Structure 1
Amino acid sequence: MTPDEVLLEEGRKALRIERDSIDSVEKELGQPFVDAVKLILNTKGNVIFSGVGKSGHVGRKLAATFSSTGTTSFFVHSDEAAHGDLGMIKPDDVFVAISFSGESDELLTILPALKNLNIRIIAMTGRAESSLARAADVSLVTKITREACPLNLAPTSSTTVTMALGDAIASAVMGAKKFSREDFARSHPAGALGRRLLMRVQDVMRTQNLPIVSSQASLMDAVEAMSKGKLGVVIGVDSSGIPEGIFTEGDLCKILRNTIDINKVSFKDVMSRELKSIYSHLSAHSALEEIKKYKVNQLIVIDSDKNFSGIVHIQDLIARKVC
């Protein structure tokens, strides 16, 4: 084997070991998993993850996952908990202790205090006979045959299966709570999904200095308004301000190709009356879909009473990263 092939084989071997470890845990999944999910579903408090070393890193990740999927959660370092942070934990909370050996001194030290508070404890460990597993109300055992590390020493397979099992619990809790895409978006307002589901047309539409003229105006006046608006479009409205037509830079180019004297043309004679509109309360993403559908650059925005409210332009949607 070439040096590159040796490296590839080592990588594939590690992935196979971790994959097989997850498969093994899946096959052993049973009532303890159900009990753990029910404990979390029924708690009136928070879900507290704790651990040290690599288990602590896994705990931090799982706490973040639970918090972002509808279950209030946070991480407490086991050592810090023994020196004052235990005061953050309340009787209604569920405590998830992570230790593959199940003999972490830092965790075992705080277990009696947790028991005195009647806090329910879920253990995530690799040993069913460990001190942690015996002390917990629910014990989730993640047995593995070996670590993916070539020396079979560094926590690799063990941390992978623990994290995967934690994700499985979070997924089951989400399903039971009927946690929706909209719920997820509310926890991630800055993300792409948040922008897609939460941002409305009224949040991105333009309402000031709109390129609007009377439908009775001359085409020259309409072109001047379009130029000032810098949107490549001008809207013709009636005496009540209700949109009647639209005229774009593309329409102007077509007229100029026919060598028409625009000074002698009335705007109402050339504007298109096929207005593409959207309600202001709809999602900004739906405006993007309509723009793509009709192959236009902008939409007229109307309110619930179908009154003209503004213009939403493709430039504004791109600027707000609605995609």
Structure 2
Amino acid sequence: MTSRHAIVSPGNAASDVASVRRVLLAESEALRIMAEQQTDVVSQALDLLTVKGAGRVIVSGMGKSGHVGRKIAATMASTGTPSIYVHPAEASHGDLGMITQHDAILALSNSGETPELTDVVQYSRRFGIPLVGMTSRADSALAQAADIALILPQVDEACPMGLAPTTSTTLMLALGDALAVALLERKGFSSADFKVFHPGGKLGRKLLKVSDLMHSGDELPLVAAAMPMGQVLLVMTNKSFGCVGVLTNEGGRLAGVITDGDLRRHMEPGLFGRTAAEVMTADPKTTRAGALAAEALHVMNARSITSLFVVDENKHPVGIVHMHDCLRAGIA
């Protein structure tokens, strides 16, 4: 019985490395060429893709271009540009109904002659739906039909046979990323907006704010500056943060903190007869409710402390965040 699989000899490290480098250099050179050839046409394409109201960017492509299209649609959707991928063959069997006159279409085809895209293109022309084509041939059917054609440089595929879509799909993917980022910047999309679309996983945790984790209200360990240390210790014990915030006599601003370290430094027979103001560390390091929790954790690590008070613009304490809160949220 003969095997269906060819017998592959063990690889040669030097030739393997050379092959990988050749592909990477070929694709990076193609990206450089594409970057240099960009003109105002890309801005006109962005005008069409800046959909309003209920509009979305509909991305479509066949084969490897379709796989790239799915990624482009996902990137746009996650950065503030509503977008979905529509398979061109499925579109011909009813999925054209997914595309509305409020939308714009980004059609991908390296040759510009993909027959499966015909119905999508004709549908866009029939109902006046903006169409941006991405192709390597300016004389192709897609480029000629599109309102705006983004022409990829005609470069050789990195595949040694020049057949497998490699360099061409890299160019499509990179240009799609560039369009998504340009649309993001047009909208003024912020990290706060980004967090809304990325609540899960490590990325979502990195974008958590102090306000998402802080303790507030009755949980805050706060004492008056004139409070005797005997009562201060009771508050520290009951609130379980290992510290208390000391408030000014007038205005209720945060004047200082008392930590376990402060207690050890002032451990003497007359400690209980002293006031909070006499023991506190003045002008403590604080954070803002709108700061990233990762920033607060960095401060705590740098200062070798375990808690940070959260204050408003007038230094009134509005919360407290503990290192354990950050660790439990997966921020490290």
Band of TM-score, shorter chain: 0.7 to 0.9
Letter of the aligned partner of 1:37 in structure 2?
Answer: L
* Counterpart mapping for 1:200-215 below 5 A: 200-201=210-211, 204-212=214-222
1:100-115 → structure 2 map (5 Å cutoff): 100-115=110-125
Shift, 1:11, TM fit? 0.5
Amino acid at match of 2:119: T
CA-CA distance at 1:58 after TM superposition: 0.8
Q: Report the more deviating stretch, 30-39 or 48-57.
A: 30-39
- Report the Cα offset of residue 139 of structure 1: 2.0
What SS does structure 2 have at the residue aligned with 1:159?
helix
Would you say 1:59 and 2:63 are equivalent positions?
Answer: no
C-alpha contact 1:204 1:284 (8 A) present in aligned 2? no
Tell me the residue number matched to 2:309: 300
**Deviation of 1:163 (Å):** 1.1
Q: Match of 2:128, SS?
A: coil
Q: Deviations over 1:97-152 (max 9, x none)?
A: 11112222211233223221122222112223322222222222223332112332
1:174-218, CA deviations, whole angstroms, 9 ceiling, x for partnerless residues? 444444455444544557787677735475234444445565655
The reply on whether 1:316 has 2:301 as its aligned counterpart is: no
- Alpha-carbon distance between aligned partners in 1 of 2:45 and 2:298, rounded to the nearest angstrom: 42
Structure 1 residue 143 corresponds to structure 2 residue 156: no
Q: Does 1:123 align with 2:126?
A: no
Tell me the SS of whatever aligns to 2:31.
helix
Aligned mate of 2:274, from 232, 242, 266:
266
Q: Measure how far apart 1:9 and its partner are.
A: 0.6
| Pick aligned residue for 2:177 from 167, 173, 180 | 167
Letter in 1 for 2:26: I
> Aligned residue pairs: how many?
319
Q: Supply the distance in 2 between the matched residues of 1:37 and 1:299 (Cα, whole angstroms).
A: 44
More displaced 10-residue stretch of structure 1: 45-54 or 5-14 = 45-54
Distance verdict in 2 for CA 1:177–1:209, change over 3 Å: closer
Tell me the amino acid that sits aligned with residue 257 of structure 2: I
What code does the residue aligned with 2:17 have? L
Aligned residue among 75, 79, 91 for 2:85: 75
The aligned amino acid for 2:263 is L
Unaligned runs of 5+ in 2: 1-10
Equivalent-residue separation in structure 2 for 1:66 and 1:253 (angstroms): 55
Match of 1:12 among 18, 21, 24: 21
Distance in 2 separating the partners of 1:247 and 1:201:
23
Partner Cα distance (2:273, 2:205) in 1: 43
Does structure 2 conserve the Cα–Cα contact (< 8 Å) formed by 1:103 and 1:131? yes
1:250/1:39 Cα in 2 relative to 1: closer, same or farther (>3 Å)? same
CA distance, structure 1, for counterparts of residue 224 and residue 31 of structure 2: 68
Partner of 1:34: 43
Superposed CA offset, 1:140-176 (max 9, x none): 2223332112332221101001111222333333444
Aligned pair partner of 2:233 in 223, 228, 240: 223
| TM-score of the aligned structures, taking structure 2 as reference length | 0.78
Alignment CA distance shift 1:46-1:272 (3 Å): same
User: Deviation at 1:264?
Assistant: 5.2
Distance of 2:131 and 2:249 partners within structure 1: 71
Instruction: Letter of the 2:137 partner, please give it.
Output: R
Report 1:174-253 matches (<5 A): 174-189=184-199, 199-201=209-211, 204-212=214-222, 219-236=229-246, 242=252, 246-253=257-264
Deviation at 1:61, TM superposition (A): 1.1
Normalising by structure 1, report the TM-score: 0.80
Residue in structure 1 matched with residue 4 of structure 2 by the alignment = none
- Distance across 2 between alignment mates of 1:7 and 1:283: 47
Corresponding residue of 1:283: 291
2:3 aligned partner: none
Counterpart residue number, 1:89: 99
User: Which amino acid is the alignment partner of residue 139 of structure 2?
Assistant: E
Change (3 A) 1:196 1:85: same
C-alpha contact 1:66 1:73 (8 A) present in aligned 2: yes
Identical positions, percent: 35
Letter in 1 for 2:259: T
**Paired amino acid for 1:251:** D
